[in-house]
Amino acid sequence: MPLVNMKTLLTAAEEGGYAVGAFNCNNMEIVQAIIQAATEEHAPVIVQASQGAIKYAGLSYITALTRVAAEEAQVPVALHLDHGTSFDQVMRCIRDGFTSVMIDGSKLPLAENIALTRRVLDVARAVGVTVEAELGKIGGTEDDITVTEREALMTDPEEARQFVAETGVDALAIAIGTAHGRYKGEPKLDFDRLRRVRELVQVPIVLHGSSGVPDEAIRTAIQLGVRKVNIDTNIREAFVKGVREALAANPDEIDPRKILGPAREEMTAIVREKIRVFGSSNKA
Ligand code: G3H
Ligand code: 13P
Ligand code: ZN
């Protein structure tokens, strides 16, 4: 079916009390793995591309690959820009056919983040595209900061209330202790903070940096209102595992299909596992 608006998927998730998986793509095999997994699980799904992915693959390739995959699929698929930081980039994605965009103004002062998000919303609303924003700084696992410093970057619930009231954004990414990349230890999520945000904010909450977060913590976050869960690193790991194993089994292999095929299967398996944890199986 044609690509769908992300808001439709998140509204259904809100009603059903589950979360929709948002999986990062960088090439054809990743897009195929995500759609195959969603198809096998009968699950709605979000394919997302970062600015880095767009730089690597090309905007029109990302859009075309995902559009074709969605059109052939029997499950609803949204195409989302992940961590867009530039107004112009967001506009290019909308023009190219993305059905959802993230405008990440989290590094800006609050008033500027609100102003940038509103500017994007003005355009996106007119063309039926969903908008996600970020408040608080999610950061990376590599960032060399202490627990106290990380806490200082977390989302302030009162600011979240003000942000949503003043922007009317469709979905809000918040910082509650997760980080992008591979965790060194076990991440500790601030569920009290999530609970307080949820009391003050009615829009779907987005959890970034979800690879490596224990399943139980993800389930709790979903119970507390998370409706979109972002996964990238786990897909990268599965891709590399598949490639490594294929080459270890046959070091002389030169057929890319025999190397990337197993990688695609590994990625399909991990995306299926995540979809089950998010509770979105059989929701398509
Ligand atoms: O949010 C980060 C995502 O994992 C995308 O990473 O910017 O390296 O594509 P990337
Ligand atoms: P991980 O790579 O930690 O799964 O984070 C993905 C993400 O948040 C993309 O926006
Ligand atoms: Zn992210």
Q: How far is the CA of 244 from the centre of ligand 2 (A)?
A: 22
Task: Give the Cα separation of 38 and 208 in Å (integer).
Answer: 20
C-alpha of residue 102 to centroid of ligand 3, in Å:
10
Side chain identity, residue 135: L
Q: Using one digit for the tens of pLDDT, what is the confidence trace for 155-168?
A: 999 999 999 999 99
Specify the pTM: 0.98
Question: Which positions are annotated as active-site residues?
Answer: 82
- Average pLDDT of the chain is 97
Pick among 1.10.3720.10, 2.60.120.10, 3.40.30.160, 3.20.20.70: CATH of 6-234+264-278? 3.20.20.70
From 232, 235, 271, 273, the mutation candidate for ligand 2 (largest count of ligand atoms within 8 A of CB) is 232
Radius of gyration of the chain from its Cα atoms, rounded to whole angstroms:
18
Sequence ranges of the domains in the chain: 6-234+264-278
pLDDT tens digits, the chain, 284 residues: what are they?
999 999 999 999 999 999 999 999 999 999 999 999 999 999 999 999 999 999 999 999 999 999 999 999 999 999 999 999 999 999 999 999 999 999 999 999 999 999 999 999 999 999 999 999 999 999 898 888 887 888 889 999 999 999 999 999 999 999 999 999 999 999 999 999 999 999 999 999 999 999 999 999 999 999 999 999 999 999 999 999 999 999 999 999 999 999 999 999 999 999 999 999 999 999 99
Nearest partner of 153 among 126, 100, 190, 103, judged by Cα: 190
Q: In DSSP terms, which residues pair with 206 in a beta bridge?
A: 173, 228
The helix (H) or strand (E) run that includes residue 134 is strand 130-135
Helix/strand number for the chain, H first, E second? 12, 8
Say yes or no: CB of residue 231 within 6 Å of ligand 2: yes
What local confidence, expressed as pLDDT, does residue 151 receive?
Answer: 87
